[in-house]
């Protein structure tokens, strides 16, 4: 192989790798799968379309969704699971809130990095995963 052919092959491989890295999701990426026109889809980033009782992508980040009629849902699961099950969210979803800020009891929210939050006794608290069913 000539130097020109080798350089061209290396350049092509580098370009392909750069393209893959550019489209790969990041830890804080918004993996939204919710139709923007559906009511409720803009409450927090990363909302998903879903069906109560069906599987959902992950209870650890971007764990909120909207059903066909615009009802709010939460992705619940067991600790360590990569997927969960959609359940009706019975709490008020207060939008994006910083961990530790004061809050009103009975609310859920989402941290800026996508983690689900609940209003605990000391303010907004990260829900590691929405363990064993609905918190809200």
Tens place of pLDDT per residue across the chain (136 aa): 454 444 444 334 333 333 322 223 333 444 456 766 677 788 899 899 999 999 988 788 899 999 988 899 999 887 667 788 999 999 999 999 999 999 999 899 999 999 999 998 889 999 874 444 445 4
Collapsing DSSP to helix, strand or coil, 90 comes out as: coil
Question: For the whole model, what pTM was predicted?
Answer: 0.69
Alpha helices in 1-136 (DSSP H): 3-23
Cα-based angle 131, 86, 83 (whole degrees, multiple of 5): 65
Q: What does the pLDDT read at residue 51?
A: 94
Contacts of 130 (CB under 8 A, 6+ apart): 59, 63, 74, 75, 76, 77, 84, 116
CB neighbours (10 Å) of residue 1? 8
């Amino acid at each position: 192989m000539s130097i020109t052919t080798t350089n061209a092959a290396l350049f092509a491989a580098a370009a392909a790798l750069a393209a893959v890295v550019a489209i790969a999701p990041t830890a804080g990426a918004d993996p939204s799968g919710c139709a923007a026109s559906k009511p409720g889809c803009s409450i927090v980033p990363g909302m998903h379309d879903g069906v109560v009782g069906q599987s959902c992508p992950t209870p650890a980040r971007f764990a909120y969704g909207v059903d066909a009629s615009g009802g709010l849902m939460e992705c619940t699961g067991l600790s360590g699971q990569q997927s969960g099950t959609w359940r009706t969210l019975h709490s008020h979803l207060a939008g994006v809130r910083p961990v530790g800020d004061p809050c009103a009891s009975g609310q859920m929210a989402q941290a800026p990095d996508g983690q689900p939050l609940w209003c605990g006794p000391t303010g907004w608290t990260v829900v590691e995963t929405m363990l064993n069913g609905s918190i809200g």
